[in-house]
Amino acid sequence: MVTARRTPLAAIVLAAGQGTRMKTRRPKVLHEVCGRPLVYYPVRRALDAGAGPVVVVVGHEAEQVEAAVAAAVAPARVEFAVQGKQLGTAHAVLAARKALAGFEGDVLILSGDTPLITRETLEAVRAAKAGSKAALAFATMHLENPTGYGRVVHAPHGGPALVVEEKDAAAEERAIHEVNAGLYCADAAFLWETLGRVDAKNAKREFYLTDLVALAAEGPGAVTAHVSSVEASGVNDQEELSLAVRALTRRFATAHLKAGVTIEDPERFDCDEEVAIGADTVVEPGVRLRGRTRIGEGCRVGQGAILTDTVVEDGAAVKPYTVAEEARIGPGAQVGPFARLRPGADLGPQVKIGNFVEVKKSRLGKGSKANHLTYLGDATIGEGVNVGCGTVTCNYDGERKHPTVIGDGVFVGSDAILVAPITIGEGAYVAAGSTLTADVPPGALALGRAHQVNKEGWAERLHRARKARAGKRRK
């Protein structure tokens, strides 16, 4: 119940349906679009437009939907109302009445499957209502093929008289190309009083929200606001979901291009809403940028790279097919190709991480490098360190993780095994092929190799024995 902090605008987002045309067990509104559940977008846009409270009406898999929405919009808060039985869109809106008790003002009503809706469109519908004396404004769009949509019928004076759902429409009504877009702005008092008068005398035996239009036309009046069909079209099946993903990603790409980012192929670019990219950065084809990834100015992100919640600072280069999650790549650093940065990887300025190197919960100081085939886990590595090919920090003993500390200027030879916990002092050398289990003092040379033994003539004797055995088998 709303008892405090009233704003002139509230919103109801309808997200109770199952979405059977998706052909999946997952509720339709939880299918992902650019890293977020489908329902996130209308909820977020309502919040952006200043709505408070925002009430999400849930039904099918209600607990799962509530948890997903709350996590997606955090730290913003929304309220939830449950539609126990799906008896139509008007019935769904009525489920939110208790949550909005005491609210006086305009109420936006949005569909939970419209990820392309914008704040500007919500504001346009609200402005249409404010610019008239009508109690209801609703969005319409013109479609070449209006099949499946409710047709908007106008009165002789030009204003909207009613919306006729397709199953209830006569032939001349089905010929109308102006259709209901499923977005409304209604005066709260009018909304609750009028919804009680909606009946289910139609082909589907459902309580249609569109009946508000006819009831408003008979009294306080209704107005329309024309909106883009791209924005207002809902997602009903997997193909429409894929089209929505592509359209939203193209919108993000356009915004980055206008801000001075070079995206070599926008049609092969995947990006989430909260990603930021600095000017003069080049993004090659096939890149996926997820979560709250931040990329600075003058960077280059190579083909096929996947970055999730990762910071890439100015001038850094992420080479092709690098995968990074919750990592930081410092200014001027180079990573990849085919490198993996796991959560907690923190690369300082001018660090170089090469192909098939994995870094996890480790910090590398300025100018340090691990150019190939290396694992660095739970390590603190100083400046100017060379980590040779094949080096492994053995950080896990089967029960606990242990740290490796490598001081400034250390040279670690190829194929070194560093068994943690271990500290290698500043300026020390680790000989290639060493397995170290004890600390190394600063400036020392550490060798941990097994003693080499050469057995003269051993290979020749082996070959003669093999030939003898082969001869016996032929006999």
pLDDT digits (tens, 9 = 90+) for 432-473: 999 999 999 999 999 998 888 899 999 999 999 999 988 877
Stated as kind and residue range, the H or E segment containing 277 is: strand 276-277
DSSP 105: S
Quote the mean pLDDT of the chain: 93
* Mean pLDDT, range 262-289, rounded to an integer: 97
Query: Per this entry, what is the length of the chain?
Result: 475
CB count within 10 Å of CB 459 equals 9
171's tokens: 């032939």
**Phi and psi dihedrals of 348, rounded to 5?**
-75, -175
Contact 307, 301 (CB under 8 A): yes
Token output for 168 = 């209830």
Place of tokens 């090469």: 354
pLDDT in tens, 140-181: 999 999 998 999 999 988 789 999 988 899 999 999 999 999
- Name the E strands within 309-444: 311-312, 317-318, 323-325, 328-329, 334-335, 340-341, 346-347, 352-360, 363-364, 369-377, 379-381, 386-387, 392-394, 404-406, 411-412, 417-419, 422-424, 429-430, 435-436
Q: Is the pLDDT of residue 4 over 50?
A: no
Q: For residues 196 and 191, what is the distance between their CA atoms, to the nearest angstrom? A: 9
pLDDT of residue 7: 55
Q: Which helix (H) or strand (E) holds 179?
A: strand 178-187
The pLDDT score that the predictor gives to residue 234 is 87
Q: What does the pLDDT read at residue 226?
A: 94
Q: For 410-423, what is the mean pLDDT?
A: 97
- Mean pLDDT for 260-276 is 96
Decide if pLDDT at 387 tops 60: yes
Which of 289, 373, 274 is CA-nearest to residue 323? 289
Q: Which domains does the chain have, with CATH numbers?
A: 9-232 (3.90.550.10), 260-360 (2.160.10.10), 364-452 (2.160.10.10)
Indicate which residues carry an active-site annotation: 372
pLDDT of residue 340: 98
Question: Of all residues in the chain, what percent carry a pLDDT higher than 70?
Answer: 98
- Residue 410's DSSP bridge partners are none
Read off the pLDDT band of 5 (50, 70, 90).
very low
pTM over 0.85: yes
Please tell me the distance from the alpha carbon of residue 374 to that of residue 389, in angstroms, as a whole number.
6
pLDDT exceeds cutoff 60 at 3:
no
Among 74-78, 139-143, 221-225, 326-330, top mean pLDDT goes to 326-330
- The DSSP call for residue 237 is S
Average pLDDT (319-338) is 98
Res 331 pLDDT > 70: yes
- Per-residue pLDDT tens over the stretch 95-131: 999 999 999 999 999 999 999 999 999 999 999 999 9
Cα dist. 113→109, 117, 135, 206, 435 in Å? Answer: 12, 10, 25, 20, 58
The per-residue pLDDT for range 396-410, each reduced to its tens digit, is 999 999 999 999 999
Q: Identify the residue whose tokens are 């690098």.
A: 322
Say how far apart CA 291 and CA 306 lie, in whole Å.
Answer: 11
pLDDT level of residue 199 (50, 70, 90 thresholds): confident
Using only C-alpha atoms, the chain has a radius of gyration, in whole angstroms, of: 32
